[in-house]
Amino acid sequence: MDTRQIIIQELESVPDEVLVEVLDFLRFLLAKEDKVDLEDSLAALEEAAAVGTTSLHDLKRELGM
């Protein structure tokens, strides 16, 4: 059983009050991840502006693409 299936199985047995907290925490984690991705992207753009230019390959590598 993979992690996703284990989480789903566990969620089926918890009270609704806990589900509300789990959903809130999941949304927090996703927002945090989005913020880190945005900060990394902005840093790459600032570096490109400071250096003058960068290749698309280097920019994608910097962004983890």
Instruction: State residue 11's pLDDT score.
Output: 92
Which tokens in the block code for residue 65? 């693409």
- Radius of gyration (C-alpha) of the chain in whole angstroms: 19
Residue entry with tokens 């880190």: 36
- pLDDT tens sequence across 4-61: 999 999 999 999 999 999 898 888 888 877 777 777 777 877 877 777 776 778 778 8
The reported pTM is 0.51
Extents of the domains making up the chain? 3-63
